Chain A
Amino acid sequence: MMAPFFKYGMFGDETSLVVAFLIGIGFGFFLERAGFGSARKLMAQFYLTDLAVFKVMFTAIVTAMLGLTYLAWMGWLDLSLVYLVPTYLAPQVVGGLILGVGFVTGGYCPGTSVAATATGRVDGLVSVLGILVGTFAFAELFPFVKGFYLSGAGEAMTMPRAFGVPYGLVVFAVVLMALAGFYGAGLLEKRLAAGSGE
């Protein structure tokens, strides 16, 4: 049995939409479990009082990354069939900055704003509306940004390929970096909590 199942024709487009819904349920469920339906919790990351955002995000990345690596290594998953967003370095760097600013201004990211709306947060709903309006504005302004939008166009590139380093080595490095980060995050949280006498 070869994965990705959809790319091997094991189910059709209609079924994939049902799968999308189910996967979304899992996604939303764990986002809220982590407390990310609350802007306070999310923003605590950027005021260094609760680094759950970092912990959850990188644990998820490491988990999926290891899963992909092993499944592909054992030949059960054809990694070349998994969609990789092409790299557009300049717009992605600038887009990241803008999104970061928007994130900390609004208190949510696009995914968590949906999760927040689902748990009754009015600011989550307003954030969703802001994203919709902003998307419309972007589309209307697209002729002006098109040049930049398409700049730095590259192919789908992974870090191992880009740096010429074996895939497994990068995987191990990411695991170590994440664990070091988690350890540091724990220390930081303790120190700041002790400092502010909480």
Chain B
Amino acid sequence: MRRWILMLTLNQQLALGAVALGAIAIFAVPYPGSTVTLDAREFALVIGREADHVDAPELASWIIESRADYRLIDLRGEAEFAQYHIPAAINVPMANLTEAGFGRQEKLVFYSDDGVRAAQAWMLLKARGYKGVYMLKGGLDEWKDQVVFPVVADNPTPDERMRDERARSVSAFFGGQPRSASAVAAGAPGLAMPTVSALSKVAAPASPTGGAKPATKKREGC
């Protein structure tokens, strides 16, 4: 068999190779479609190291510092987004996540009302190879409780006083106000979220790669 192949001209050998490769390719499935692969161990490691989420106070400090190395994504609907959203967030409903054109190494922080949606989005994108995904721990609920309406002690110790001062200024930045610990313990009703317009001075961080903003990108083509 081998001798016969060697007796062919180069062109004929190439043709034979092409036919063989082409025939095997009949069974190829090049577009896996919606199938994703998960590395269970990697997942467990990331979750164990708590590298999957960002705390509300941490996010707050990022926004105050005007950091531009991340994108904050609100997964809720348009109406809810219009009513209130964390400043610097963009609205990308769950269904449009993969089409939004995020880079796979970009730092993306998702949030939803309680964090369940955000966790699902995190998992979905992680499985599709997005390396920089994070969720806001506790979602908007935690954001409300820890950043916009933080609880401050009634009779603070010196340490608590420093902490409360910081919480006060952060909450003021976001248009909220602190709640006293005793009022919370007594079951005071929740406060209304500030309107979005009051927070318009905080702009969304500019995208590093230009994703989800195709209008400013140059034409890709040939």
- C-alpha spacing A8/B11, complex, angstroms: 37
Asked, given contacts A72-B31, A79-B31, A80-B31, whether A62 binds B26 with beta carbons under 8 Å apart, the answer is no
Q: How far is the CB of A113 from chain B (nearest CB, A)?
A: 15
Which among A7, A8, A168 has the highest number of chain B CB atoms within 10 Å? Answer: A168
Contact across chains for B131 and A75 when beta carbons are under 8 A apart: no
30 contacts between A and B (CB under 8 A): A7-B104, A8-B104, A8-B105, A8-B129, A9-B103, A9-B104, A9-B105, A62-B22, A66-B18, A68-B30, A69-B28, A70-B21, A72-B28, A72-B30, A72-B31, A73-B25, A73-B29, A75-B37, A79-B31, A85-B221, A167-B28, A168-B25, A168-B26, A168-B27, A168-B29, A172-B23, A175-B18, A175-B21, A178-B18, A182-B11
Asked, given contacts A8-B105, A9-B103, whether A172 binds B30 with beta carbons under 8 Å apart, the answer is no
Which among A62, A167, A174 has the highest number of chain B CB atoms within 10 Å? Answer: A167
In A55-86, the 8 Å CB interface with B consists of: 62, 66, 68-70, 72-73, 75, 78-80, 83, 85
In A155-192, the 8 Å CB interface with B consists of: 166-169, 171-172, 174-176, 178-179, 182
User: Counting CB contacts under 8 A, is B32 at the interface?
Assistant: yes
User: Counting CB contacts under 8 A, is A104 at the interface?
Assistant: no
- C-alpha spacing A171/B131, complex, angstroms: 33
User: Counting CB contacts under 8 A, is B220 at the interface?
Assistant: yes
User: Counting CB contacts under 8 A, is B162 at the interface?
Assistant: no
Name A77's closest neighbour in chain B (CB-CB): B30
Contact across chains for A9 and B30 when beta carbons are under 8 A apart: no
Q: How far is the CB of A109 from chain B (nearest CB, A)?
A: 12
Q: How far is the CB of B28 from chain A (nearest CB, A)?
A: 4
User: Counting CB contacts under 8 A, is A2 at the interface?
Assistant: yes
Name A167's closest neighbour in chain B (CB-CB): B30
Excluding A167-B29, A168-B25, A175-B19, 11 further A-B contacts by CB distance (< 8 Å) are A2-B129, A66-B25, A73-B25, A79-B31, A83-B220, A85-B221, A85-B222, A167-B30, A172-B22, A172-B23, A175-B25
In the complex, which residues of chain A have a beta carbon less than 8 angstroms from the beta carbon of B15?
179, 182
Q: What per-residue 1/0 map shows which CB atoms of B195-222 lie under 8 Å from chain A? A: 0000000000000000000000000111
Interface, chain B (partner A; CB < 8 A): 11, 15, 18-19, 21-23, 25-32, 37, 103-106, 129, 131, 220-222
For A, the interface residue count at a CB cutoff of 8 angstroms equals 29
In the complex, which residues of chain A have a beta carbon less than 8 angstroms from the beta carbon of B221?
85
Contact across chains for A175 and B22 when beta carbons are under 8 A apart: yes
Q: Which of A7, A75, A83, A171 contacts B25 (CB 8 A)?
A: A171
- C-alpha spacing A7/B129, complex, angstroms: 11
Name A62's closest neighbour in chain B (CB-CB): B18
Name A175's closest neighbour in chain B (CB-CB): B22
- C-alpha spacing A2/B23, complex, angstroms: 25
In A20-72, the 8 Å CB interface with B consists of: 62, 66, 68-70, 72
- C-alpha spacing A20/B120, complex, angstroms: 38
Q: Which of A7, A73, A80, A182 contacts B28 (CB 8 A)?
A: A73
Q: How far is the CB of B27 from chain A (nearest CB, A)?
A: 6
In the complex, which residues of chain B have a beta carbon less than 8 angstroms from the beta carbon of A167?
28-31
Contact across chains for A171 and B105 when beta carbons are under 8 A apart: no
